[in-house]
Structure 1
Amino acid sequence: MPSRPGIRRLIVAVAIAIAATASAMLPSLSAAAHGFSTVVYVDASAPSDDTVRTELGLEYDLLVVSVADQEDAPQFFEDGMDVFQTGDEASALNAHADEIVQYVTERFAVSAGGRPCEPTPVGEIGVTQRKGVPYAVLTLDHSCAGSSAHEIRSELFPDSEEYVTGTVTVVEYDLDGASGSAALDRDAPVFTTEQPLLERFGHFFVLGAEHLLFGIDHILFLLALIVGSRRLRDVVLAATSFTVAHSVTFILAALGIVSAPAAIVEPIIALSIAVVAMWYLWRIRHDRRTHEPERPGRFGLTRADWGRLAVVFGFGLMHGLGFAGAFGIDEPFSWQLLSSLLVFNVGIEAVQIAIIAAVFPLLALLRRREPMLALGVGGLVAAGVAVTGLVWFVQRVLGV
């Protein structure tokens, strides 16, 4: 068994390696806090027994770039970018409607009873706003030979086009005597009305888990909470405060009761990471200056503890809007989507609990065996997280 000095040297080596890796990753992390991804929205209904109508919402600038590249239509790119965010985007879309329909129908399809349905565009292509950016609205009528077991396949904006990564298509449907919602992505591009409820919910659960796991800003916020918690009770209370707060705004956003533009939400989320990390650094400095920890009050919490919980709760409200923004929840009273989004939220919580369960015991062990080293490592991590949060805040405010 290694000696105590040997264990100490091993811990120091690991801490240095972690710090070096984090420093090397910082530039790439600040450029890819959420990465470049998109959500396609589909509303599917059956106006007649042999027709399925789909209304597709597609991010405008991404649609222009993808269609112009795939269909070799440089004029569409020029026309589309000239009117981007001017309020006149529909003119460019309808001038190049044939190219758009061809691009979409090659990657989005409806079938019935295993037979493909024939798509036909309906009316002009419209424009709406989602998440503060223009979305093209394309309506298609799909003529189907059969009237049962409808299937929807979406492979729009694939990773292979190299413009975005991880496109999700959210489908709200009222077909075959059933209504509900489904989410399609690269790994599961097909939905059928015969799909079991648990399978659909399971997919939303995985999407929620992946959103937290690969949403680096939310991970860093959680890491700042863990590092700044001295006792298990502290991290449980902080995580509970965060969970309650983001669940409230997540659900209210899904019901269309509250909303906020991404231009406000995303910078505040970045700022929250820095503030929570700097709170821990302030506590270290405060304790060193006073040489005496603050005496606990009601419920065994100090004023600083209550202040931290209030800050976490406030920022948790903004994180909830950020989670809601992952699916562009901005339509009032999206009841069909609400149950699926609650499962999405459960997926977020599952990963949050798993991270706390994995990281906090290791940190507690380090504090018990090497308190000074744990203090240094915690301060180093908190400082790195704070700097990253501030970099993201400036980038998001400036829109870079």
Structure 2
Amino acid sequence: MSQRVRLGIIGIAAAVIAFLGVGQPAFAHGFTSVVYAHVTAGDEGHIRTKLKLEYDLFVASTADSENDDPLFRTGNAAFESGDTEGQAAALNAHSKSAMRYVADRFSVTSDGRACTPAQVGDFTMTRKEDVPYAALLLDWTCTEQGDDRVLRSGLFPDSEDYVTGTKTIVTYDIDGRSGSAALDAAHPSFSLGQSWYARFWEFFSLGAEHLLTGTDHILFLLALIAGSRRLREIVLAATSFTLAHSVTFMLAALGLVDVPAKVVEPVIALSIAVVAGWYLWRIWRRGGHATDLEAVEGSHFGLDRAGWTRLGVVFCFGLVHGLGFAGALGIDQAWSWTLLWSLLVFNVGIEGVQLAIIAIVFPLLTLVRHRAPTAGLWTTGAISAGVAVMGLVWFVQRVSGF
């Protein structure tokens, strides 16, 4: 293979990695936000909603929308200093502005008629993934007490230019009905009486979108694909990764495991570099035989020692990735079958996209390896090199806090 062709292959692979990595923040799930809403029955026939909103975003959006500069000054100062009591005090001192912002973008209707919100108690503070959240309790008075109750959320829209793609994760347990829903700009509302298949599609789409927008998870998958020598190897690696992250995903989303994002995110970045670097090390040691399997008698699934070792490493890193997936929902309710269903469907969405990527990329790499073994080796090596560099850059950024 000529030097020009080799350089062309490396250039194409580098361009793909650059496209995936360019403009991505060190914390790949940053620059977006998640609002949490829990709906129950309130006193005297009211509908009660407990909202949790990312504090610094809430302050900035409210201050800008309501022209409340004093709120921004006091609220931002409390945020910068980490003063939890000061954060709650800033919102409570400007509760009218904060309430107007929420009421203009979050609503409840009953049989087509708007319900009227009233604040219950003061703003309080909580944390999710080491991020301060403001909690707001509202009781909604509805003149019509019908079965068609609809929630709509347009909180933190893209037009405010602070974040993009805000999700509102809703859980409800009211009038003998319980369930979950995911709202965004494309689907801003849902009915408390929605069908099970509508809930399924919402959380499936949310899981699929989370993997597609989580560049670090895609790069990890690319590293697995590039370093896999046979179809059974990538299938077993993907299965191992799925089982591992499903375990920690469920435990974290149910509030049984709590690991700070400042620990999880750097390890995810390091896992990308390690898995990609593993294959580069194999190329360095074995050259053109990097894709060969060592003959091992009695080995299960046709894997050699290197394959089993890699499988174990992938499983361990999958446990950490599961904690990252859980951060997309941030649900920490008590155990319930309804919640478990939502989490499982979210996970199915993730796996659907993962399998689709494998089905597209791995056959193409296999074809190149069979038709032009040297070109295939350079292609997979270039992809792994780009992924490893990106993983190391993210690791340094996340450890240093950039």
Under a length normalisation based on structure 2, what TM-score does the superposition of the two structures give?
Answer: 0.93
Instruction: Tell me how far apart the structure 1 counterparts of residues 287 and 12 of structure 2 sit (CA, whole Å).
Output: 27
**Counterpart among 59, 84, 87 of residue 87 in structure 1:** 84
Instruction: Tell me how far apart the structure 2 counterparts of residues 335 and 163 of structure 1 sit (CA, whole Å).
Output: 35
Deviation of the 1:333 alpha carbon: 2.8
Tell me what 2:352 maps to.
350
Instruction: Tell me how far apart the structure 2 counterparts of residues 49 and 146 of structure 1 sit (CA, whole Å).
Output: 14
Matched, 1:62 2:64: no
Q: Structure 1, residues 1-45: CA drift from partner, whole Å, max 9, x if none?
A: xxxx9xx99997566334345446644235573341111111111
Q: Structure 1 pair 164/334, CA: closer, same or farther in 2 (3 Å)?
A: farther
Instruction: Tell me how far apart the structure 2 counterparts of residues 303 and 25 of structure 1 sit (CA, whole Å).
Output: 32
Indicate if the aligned counterparts of 2:9 and 2:378 stay in contact, CA closer than 8 A.
no
What SS is found at the alignment partner of 1:128? Answer: strand
Indicate if the aligned counterparts of 1:265 and 1:322 stay in contact, CA closer than 8 A.
yes
Matched, 1:207 2:214: no
Which region of structure 1 is more displaced relative to structure 2, 18-27 or 119-128?
18-27
Which region of structure 1 is more displaced relative to structure 2, 351-360 or 42-51?
42-51
Tell me what 1:75 maps to.
70
Instruction: Tell me how far apart the structure 1 counterparts of residues 268 and 115 of structure 2 sit (CA, whole Å).
Output: 44
Instruction: Tell me how far apart the structure 2 counterparts of residues 138 and 30 of structure 1 sit (CA, whole Å).
Output: 30
Deviation of the 1:287 alpha carbon: 1.3
Tell me what 2:121 maps to.
123
Matched, 1:364 2:362: no
Tell me what 1:283 maps to.
282
Instruction: Tell me how far apart the structure 2 counterparts of residues 353 and 132 of structure 1 sit (CA, whole Å).
Output: 32
> Which segments of 5 or more consecutive residues in structure 1 lack a partner in the other structure?
none
Tell me what 2:304 maps to.
302
Which region of structure 1 is more displaced relative to structure 2, 199-208 or 291-300?
291-300
Indicate if the aligned counterparts of 1:259 and 1:330 stay in contact, CA closer than 8 A.
no
> Which segments of 5 or more consecutive residues in structure 2 lack a partner in the other structure?
none
Q: Structure 1 pair 24/112, CA: closer, same or farther in 2 (3 Å)?
A: closer
Amino acid paired to 1:393: F
Amino acid paired to 2:345: V
Q: Structure 1, residues 144-198: CA drift from partner, whole Å, max 9, x if none?
A: 0122211100000011111111111111112343111111111100011222110
Tell me what 1:218 maps to.
217
Matched, 1:250 2:249: yes
Instruction: Tell me how far apart the structure 2 counterparts of residues 343 and 75 of structure 1 sit (CA, whole Å).
Output: 44
CA RMSD, 1 decimal? 2.3
Which region of structure 1 is more displaced relative to structure 2, 18-27 or 179-188?
18-27
Q: Structure 1 pair 358/290, CA: closer, same or farther in 2 (3 Å)?
A: closer
Higher relative contact order (CA 8 A, sep 6+): 2
What percent of counterpart residues are identical? 56
Tell me what 2:387 maps to.
385
What SS is found at the alignment partner of 2:340? Answer: helix
Deviation of the 1:313 alpha carbon: 0.2
Tell me what 1:340 maps to.
342
Indicate if the aligned counterparts of 2:116 and 2:142 stay in contact, CA closer than 8 A.
yes
Under a length normalisation based on structure 1, what TM-score does the superposition of the two structures give?
Answer: 0.93
Amino acid paired to 1:259: D
Deviation of the 1:305 alpha carbon: 1.2
Runs (4+) of structure 1 exceeding 3 A deviation are 8-18, 20-27, 29-32, 288-295, 329-332
Deviation of the 1:307 alpha carbon: 1.2
Instruction: Tell me how far apart the structure 2 counterparts of residues 231 and 323 of structure 1 sit (CA, whole Å).
Output: 28
Instruction: Tell me how far apart the structure 1 counterparts of residues 172 and 365 of structure 2 sit (CA, whole Å).
Output: 47
Amino acid paired to 1:230: R
Q: Structure 1, residues 349-380: CA drift from partner, whole Å, max 9, x if none?
A: 00000000000000000000111111111111
Which region of structure 1 is more displaced relative to structure 2, 254-263 or 162-171?
254-263
Q: Structure 1, residues 196-249: CA drift from partner, whole Å, max 9, x if none?
A: 110111111011011111111100000000000010011011101000000111
Instruction: Tell me how far apart the structure 1 counterparts of residues 202 and 20 of structure 2 sit (CA, whole Å).
Output: 30
Matched, 1:166 2:165: yes
Deviation of the 1:91 alpha carbon: 1.0
Indicate if the aligned counterparts of 2:10 and 2:378 stay in contact, CA closer than 8 A.
no
Q: Structure 1 pair 57/12, CA: closer, same or farther in 2 (3 Å)?
A: same
Indicate if the aligned counterparts of 1:131 and 1:330 stay in contact, CA closer than 8 A.
no
Tell me what 1:156 maps to.
155
Matched, 1:325 2:327: yes
What SS is found at the alignment partner of 2:234? Answer: helix
Instruction: Tell me how far apart the structure 2 counterparts of residues 24 and 326 of structure 1 sit (CA, whole Å).
Output: 23
Which region of structure 1 is more displaced relative to structure 2, 10-19 or 91-100?
10-19
Instruction: Tell me how far apart the structure 2 counterparts of residues 64 and 364 of structure 1 sit (CA, whole Å).
Output: 52
Q: Structure 1 pair 50/9, CA: closer, same or farther in 2 (3 Å)?
A: same
Instruction: Tell me how far apart the structure 2 counterparts of residues 127 and 217 of structure 1 sit (CA, whole Å).
Output: 30
Amino acid paired to 2:296: P
Matched, 1:110 2:108: yes
Instruction: Tell me how far apart the structure 2 counterparts of residues 54 and 235 of structure 1 sit (CA, whole Å).
Output: 45
Q: Structure 1 pair 397/9, CA: closer, same or farther in 2 (3 Å)?
A: closer
What SS is found at the alignment partner of 1:29? Answer: coil
Amino acid paired to 1:76: L
